[in-house]
Amino acid sequence: MIDFTPLANKTKKLSEIAAGASIDELRATATESIDTILGLIEGCTDADVTFVPVDPEANDTFAASSEDTSIAWTLGHVIVHALASSEEGIFLAAELARGVEFHGRSRSEVPWESVTTIAQCRQYLEQSRRMRLASLELWPDEPHYETKRTVEFLPDDLDARGQYLLGLLHEKSHLGQIAEIVRQAKAARGA
């Protein structure tokens, strides 16, 4: 598993962490991320997936409509959002690895309102695991690590390894949110 602590401590950039990463480490990090989420939702029921938690900090500046800006996210919502971010990162990484210049986002997100069962959450997690691991098979034997994209909000220039990790890093930022939703949902149903 790749350690993101130096990034959090602001002692290294993501590009520096990614520079020494092997394909096996990327694979292990992606797998561990899925396993972590599966562990967090262990014992959840369908009711937990659609439970609306209390979230006074809810503020989605990218919401599709203004009335959705301050809604608290359900477990299903957070999971499909986090997976979509990771998957976007891995597909962009495959292009960078092949020497294709960054040409914009590559995002597809399941409508969160359609996710109402724990079985769906687990299915989407396993589907994402399969896509993450398969995407690494798209990389050439000698990836084009000189092909990079600039990520202004970091700020950093990322090669394929850094791009792959960027989505996983975003997913990791939602782990506490997932744990809190599960805690509130289980408490609400007396579990």
Radius of gyration of the chain (CA): 17
> What are the tens digits of pLDDT across the range 157-189?
999 999 999 999 999 999 999 999 999 999 999
Report whether pLDDT(53) > 90: yes
Q: State yes or no: pLDDT of 63 exceeds 70.
A: no
pLDDT at 191 over 90: no
Task: Tell me the whole-structure pTM to 2 decimals.
Answer: 0.93
Say if residue 14's pLDDT is above 90: yes
Mark out the alpha helices in 20-159 (DSSP H runs).
23-40, 46-50, 75-97, 118-136
Check: CB of residue 163 under 8 Å from CB of residue 147: no
Give me the residue label for tokens 């309102």. Answer: 113
| pLDDT tens-digit series, residues 94-131 | 999 999 999 988 888 889 999 999 999 999 999 999 99
Helix ranges restricted to H, 42-74:
46-50
Please tell me the predicted confidence (pLDDT) of residue 18: 97
Residue in 71, 57, 55 with CA at minimum distance from that of residue 184: 55
137: pLDDT strictly greater than 70: yes
| pLDDT tens per residue across span 78-94 | 999 999 999 999 999 99
Two tokens, residue 4 = 């993101």
| Phi-psi category of residue 144: left, alpha or beta, with phi > 0 → left and psi -120 to 50 → alpha | beta
